[in-house]
């Protein structure tokens, strides 16, 4: 999505969001695409999708382990390369 859409969804503010997205780019969690002045963000690969699906399933009011397993089965991660390292920033909106 566009940065403005991500900002609206997370409500963390443009400066902090830009820092978070830069860290996620450096960690190869997201990829970008430019269209004129717009920058579009997408998850980089199936490993990133699995991580996000897992967090979505766990960070709810009533976590459901079956949703985590369903997310894992729905993604083909056999060829995905997981990225590890220190200093990787992440963000979540906790209600």
Q: Quick one: tokens of 12? A: 């963390």
Spatial separation of the C-alpha atoms in residues 7 and 47, rounded to whole Å:
23
- Check residue 29 and report its DSSP letter: S
Say which residue, 46 or 67, is predicted with more confidence: 46
Q: How far is CA 93 from the centre of its chain?
A: 12
pLDDT at 85 over 50: no
Write the Ramachandran bin of 13: left for phi over 0, alpha for psi from -120 to 50, otherwise beta: left
- Check residue 11 and report its DSSP letter: -
pLDDT for position 4: 83
Spatial separation of the C-alpha atoms in residues 51 and 46, rounded to whole Å:
9
Q: Cβ of 54: how many Cβ atoms within 10 Å?
A: 15
pLDDT for position 30: 92
pLDDT for position 63: 72
- Check residue 2 and report its DSSP letter: B
pLDDT in tens, 9-56: 888 888 898 899 999 999 999 999 988 888 889 999 988 888 887 787
């Amino acid at each position: 999505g566009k940065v403005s859409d991500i900002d609206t969804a997370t409500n963390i503010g443009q400066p902090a969001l830009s820092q978070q997205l830069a860290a996620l780019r450096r960690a190869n969690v997201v990829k970008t695409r430019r269209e004129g002045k717009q920058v579009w963000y997408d998850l980089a690969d199936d490993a990133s999708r699995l991580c996000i699906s897992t967090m979505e399933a766990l960070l709810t009011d009533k976590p459901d382990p079956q949703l985590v397993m369903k997310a894992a089965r729905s993604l083909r991660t056999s060829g995905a390369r997981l990225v590890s390292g220190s200093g990787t920033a992440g963000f979540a909106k906790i209600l």
